[in-house]
Amino acid sequence: MPLARFVSMARDTSDTDDEFEAYEGKAIPSGRGARFTHFGALASGVAGGMLAEGARRLAAGERPRMRDMMLTPGNVMRVADKLSHLRGAAMKLGQMVSMDAGDFLPPELSAIMARLRENADHMPPGQLNKVLIAEWGKGWRRQFTKFGPKPMAAASIGQVHRAILPDGRELAIKVQYPGVATSIDSDIDNVATLLRISGLLPKELDIAPLLAEAKRQLHEEADYQREAAMMTRYANLLEGEDSYLVPRPVEALTTDKILAMDFLPGEPIEALESAPQEVRDTAMESLIGLVLRELFEFGLMQTDPNFANYRFDPESGRLVLLDFGATRELAPDIVDAYRQMLRAGLGGDKAEIRAAAVAAGFMNDAAARKHQVVVDDMIDVILAEANKPGKFDFGDRAFIGVLREQGMSVAEDREAWHLPPAEMVFVQRKISGTALLAARLKARVDVRGMIADALERYPAG
């Protein structure tokens, strides 16, 4: 779970229970029945909003469309607020499609996604204390010199607290929301149903494989013992490197529902927006280089590119890497598919690029043949940007609008609707999210040179 921001120093454990309980929060619905009730209330509220909007449009002499009635400002806020309150997979599924989606999704849906990324409700202290007692026992406070009752961060699956051990070691303690692990499957099914009835997901699009993979990944993210093991793997892989810092877990305090790790200070990665160009470029070069190493060297990728999973330590100039719940082994065929696409891209042959995209599953063969002219035009735009002299300027995103406009004719053809293999969706999410961060920082990076170097250094095994 990301360390989104820091709060004041944690209080001493001598704080009274009343002081611990003084922090406000919003209880997270933990039972399946309670969560189902919330989804039902959301559906009823959305339906009421749709009826009101439909009546308004009819009275104005308009013919209401399902999508227009669904995506009213009121309904957008209903969905965002309810998913933010439910947390867990309901919120995580929304976040999973949000990275770099703003350029291509309807603005109303992008607003929902942005609100889901920024909202930070947290458990009230009473609910938090019950979780800590269940995992550590009634005397859990005696293990710490200090424990901050108010979370430093609250995200989709858990919230993070700052604590200090008697030996002075500072820790970040991630505590999972109650009921999250057992509600993953039903939450995802309920969110998918909401998207279906909204008309945002075409009925012809088979999302069952993606939903199954999302459920699998979220079950893995809810397993904090697994995340601790993945964190250790990354810490070992990057041990002693000048560009990265990775916390290490504290095994004695880590359970299935609590992850204890080193507290690493740093600034939000977005704070680099005001940093000198050279600093921004170096930071993004390190992150893009890490993605290439994950793909071609490690065969292991942390697939959640949420900005809050990266921090910047101004003293050392290193990037702090956080949250390893979404880490996964990469299948050799997925890695090879990216290798072929990147090689085709560097070669600049449109036919090879198109064939590599079809082979990888980014589009089906029928769509590539039927819309070859449009697809080739889009490839031309991408190649023109990639082949500009000098470093690639992520801050110049004018070409995105051109691609969106060109792709509309393909998107309107239902025969062209297609989802890549589920595992590739998660890898592509990491790549797209990294590009979005680079755009946010307006970084300039020699991406073409880095890709060429990676393909030469890590050829197919």
Catalytic residue numbers read 304
Amino acid symbol at 143:
Q
264-287 residues labelled b (16+ CB within 10 A) or e (exposed): bebebbeebeebeeebbbbbbbbb
Q: How many beta carbons lie within 10 A of that of residue 243, not counting itself?
A: 17
- The label of the residue with tokens 């990216």 reads 338
Q: CA 304 from chain center: how many Å? A: 4
Sign of CA dihedral 296, 294, 299, 333: negative
The enclosing H or E element of 311 equals: strand 310-313
Angle at 230 between CA 229 and CA 234, to 5 degrees: 120
DSSP secondary structure string for all residues of 347-385: HT-HHHHHHHHHHHTSS-HHHHHHTHHHHHHHHHHHHHH
Q: Is 258 helix (H, G, I), strand (E, B) or coil?
A: strand
Angle at 95 between CA 92 and CA 97, to 5 degrees: 120
Contact 104, 112 (CB under 8 A): no
Strands 318-321 vs 244-245: parallel, antiparallel or unpaired: parallel
CA-to-CA separations, 382 to 206, 336, 345, 376, 448, in angstroms, rounded: 28, 21, 9, 10, 12
Strands 146-147 vs 153-154: parallel, antiparallel or unpaired: unpaired
Amino acid symbol at 244:
Y
- Which residues, at least 6 apart from 273, have a Cβ–Cβ distance to it below 8 Å? 280, 440, 441, 442
